[in-house]
Amino acid sequence: MRSALPRILVVDDEQAVLDLLVYNLSKAHYEVHTATNGRRALDLARQIEPDLILLDLMLPEVDGLDVCRELRHTSKVPIIMITARGEEVDRVVGLELGADDYICKPFSVRELMARVKAVLRRTQPSEAGSAAILSGPGGLRLDIERREVTVGSISLDLTRLEFDLLYTLLLNADRVLTRERLLEQVWGYDFTGDTRAVDSAVKRLRACLRSADPQADNIEAVRGLGYKFKGSRA
């Protein structure tokens, strides 16, 4: 029988990092599983169906970017990348592959735990009523209860993060939302200077909307500030 505790898969080939994360996550009452290489991570992800994956990029056998790419073919499981790499391009690629967030080594345990809690809180079922529908141009409809997004007759396959981002933008239509405010409202934390995740998620969301109907993409970048969704909402 599956435990009622949130299930987290930690993937890292450094034993000291694994020990640190297992200790702190277990202490916070999470069910923790571990893998030390990418191939084992993919196998475990299919077997245990975790609620969240903490994924290092530099892994033996199959690296973290390939693990993320493979998981996104079949799963919407939230992924937080953990990496020691200094090159910004690695973080950008990971986010564009569909990772929800990233944190760089060496990291603060307090910050990591805040991100874990934020992601898991965001993925809890919505308590909104069944009539809660938001709409936009191009036949865009967002059903909060069912967590479904359609453009005309086309159903969009959004991740949880992309759904919550679109919901927040639609709910605040015609208002400029700074990257920092989006981090707080969508990601669930307010660590400053960490807005790359916002830009990458918006880029993925816009591409998905345009693939269904270019008119559905009314997200506008406001230079030096953030983003807004142009148009009325239902």
- For CA atoms 198, 202, 208, 212, the dihedral sign is positive
* Domains by residue range for the chain, with CATH: 7-122 (3.40.50.2300), 133-229 (1.10.10.10)
- Cα separation, 226 vs 45, in Å, equals 35
pTM for the whole structure? 0.71
pLDDT of the chain, 234 residues: tens digit per residue: 566 789 999 999 999 999 999 999 999 999 999 999 999 999 999 999 999 999 999 899 999 999 999 999 889 899 999 887 666 777 788 888 889 888 888 888 988 998 898 888 877 654 444 447 888 888 999 998 888 999 999 999 998 889 999 999 998 889 999 998 898 888 877 665 567 889 999 999 999 999 999 999 999 999 888 999 997 544
- Cα separation, 186 vs 165, in Å, equals 6
Q: Dihedrals φ, ψ of 72, to 5°? A: -70, -10
**Structure tokens belonging to residue 112:** 């990591």
Q: For the chain, state the CA radius of gyration.
A: 18
- Cα separation, 37 vs 160, in Å, equals 26
Q: What DSSP string describes 77-114?
A: --EEEEE----HHHHHHHHHTT--EEEESS--HHHHHH
- Cβ-count burial 170-184 (b if 16+ within 10 Å, e if not): bebbeeebebbbbbe
For the segment 25-48, what is each residue's pLDDT rounded down to a tens digit? 999 999 999 999 999 999 999 999
